[in-house]
Amino acid sequence: EKCVTMAIEQQEDKIKIGVLALQGSFREHCSMIRRCGGEAVEIRSASQLEGCQGMIIPGGESTTMANIARRWNLFDALREFEDEGERCVWGTCAGLIFLADRIEQGAKQGGQELLGGINVDVSRNFFGSQIDSFETTIPCDIPGCSENDVKCRAIFIRAPAIKKVGENVEVLAKYYLSEEKKKEMGVDIESVVVAVKQKNLLATSFHPELTSDLRWHELFMRMSKGCKPFQSKLAKVGEDRKPEEFQPLYTHPDLPVFKDQVIADV
């Protein structure tokens, strides 16, 4: 009985992070959260957000995720989770678009539903199409990390970029364009912002979950520690689709860690 009690207490002490599991690299994010000592929950219905202290919106296709979230009666709960300011939200790639206040370039015809919250202007698919995806090492300033940890591996997959940064937004990483990259993309700018933080919101245009670097997930865990667990005032049990409808038939094992030391800089 003592062992069972200790196991329950350890589980209760874990930081609970919800990962929006409609599309994209949600399994990889869940794996990283577990490696950081947290509890990861795949979110496919509003009721599954209950008790979460933070939420990750993964990469994927932002318009598709917004449409699915609206169809599954989830969008209002996502907005409520963020709007109260008592919990943390991190968006990667498509998730960055979700959290941006404005889309400067590449918005879908007829508009695109966003959560907003970060005072930035985003260029959708700034780095081109799927075949233009690339990996590189970029300078970064991750809060709470050693001054010696000034670089990180960044994987850009049909990625957006932040063209304008508003007030109260902290820039954590930039991508500096080479002359060759400028010619390839047809732009004449020195750099674009690719990671930002504003209060409880974090956004990256690249995919830390696809590397072996835990620092970005550790940052988000530190941000979420002490946040108030979510209790919806809008969604009641039974109003959304039953969570068991979306449960996998088996529990996926953690994915292997991607080793990126042999990849050359771009």
In tens, the pLDDT along 28-78 reads 999 999 999 999 999 998 899 999 999 999 988 877 888 888 888 888 899
- Catalytic status, residue 207: yes
Catalytic residue among 29, 207, 217, 218: 207
Determine contact, residues 200/223, Cβ cutoff 8 Å. Answer: yes
In degrees and rounded to multiples of 5, residue 77 shows phi and psi of: -70, -40
Class of residue 61 by CB neighbours under 10 A (exposed 0-12, middle 13-18, buried 19+): middle
For residue range 255-266, list pLDDT tens digits in order: 666 565 555 555
The chain-wide mean pLDDT, for the chain, equals 83
- Catalytic status, residue 29: no
Which runs of consecutive H residues, i.e. helices, occur in 56-199?
62-71, 75-83, 94-99, 179-185
DSSP H/E element including 220: helix 215-224
- Catalytic status, residue 93: yes
In degrees and rounded to multiples of 5, residue 235 shows phi and psi of: -80, 125
pLDDT of residue 259: 60
Match 């590189």 to its residue by tokens: 136
Catalytic residue among 42, 135, 209, 218: 209
Catalytic residue among 36, 52, 88, 93: 93
For residue range 169-181, list pLDDT tens digits in order: 999 999 998 888 8
Q: Is the pLDDT of residue 89 over 90?
A: yes
pLDDT of residue 255: 63
- Asked which of 20-34, 154-168, 192-206, 230-244 is least confident by mean pLDDT, the reply is 230-244
For residue range 112-171, list pLDDT tens digits in order: 677 889 999 999 888 888 888 899 999 999 998 876 778 999 999 999 999 999 999 999
